[in-house]
Amino acid sequence: MSAVREEIRTSRFEQQSVRLPQQQDGFATRGQAKSARRARIANRISLGVCCAISFSIVWMVASKGAAVYQESFQNTKLQTQVNEQSATNATVNATVAQLKRPSRILQEALNKLHMQYKKPLTIPADPAGK
């Protein structure tokens, strides 16, 4: 058992890193630390810009999709109105055709308006009146 403990201690000791006094945060010089900091800032900025651009593109696609959906809805609504108006026009045209028949007009005049039917007067074609 003690051999296993000794082995674990030596492996832990080997894993620990010893820092030198001139090293700061894993970098040998301050210049390297500044350049690493700048690189991190540049990476964060570029990530932010990429996210903003991606969000803008998704927003534009979504807004265009919404516009297409709205136009499709308006088109369907107008098509429904056109069909309803066509049905109304067909009904009105059938009613007009029924009401403008001469036999129906004569029947209305004789029965409802109590007019009298007289035979048409014929005018002779010769000038003597015979």
Q: Which amino acid is at 66?
A: A
Residue 123 within any structural domain of the chain: no
Positive or negative, the Cα torsion across 97, 102, 103, 107?
positive
Beta-ladder partners of 27: 24
Residue 101 within any structural domain of the chain: yes
Number of H helices, E strands in the chain: 3, 0
Dump pLDDT digits (tens) for 79-116. 999 999 999 999 999 999 999 999 999 889 888 888 88
Residue 72 within any structural domain of the chain: yes
Residue 102 within any structural domain of the chain: yes
Residue 44 within any structural domain of the chain: no
Range of the domain at 74: 62-114
Sole residue written with tokens 């109304």: 88
Rg (CA), the chain: 50
Dump pLDDT digits (tens) for 5-43. 677 666 555 555 555 454 444 556 888 889 999 999 999
Residue 122 confidence class, pLDDT cut points 50, 70, 90: confident
* Number of domains forming the structure of the chain: 1
Q: Which two tokens stand for residue 115?
A: 């007019």
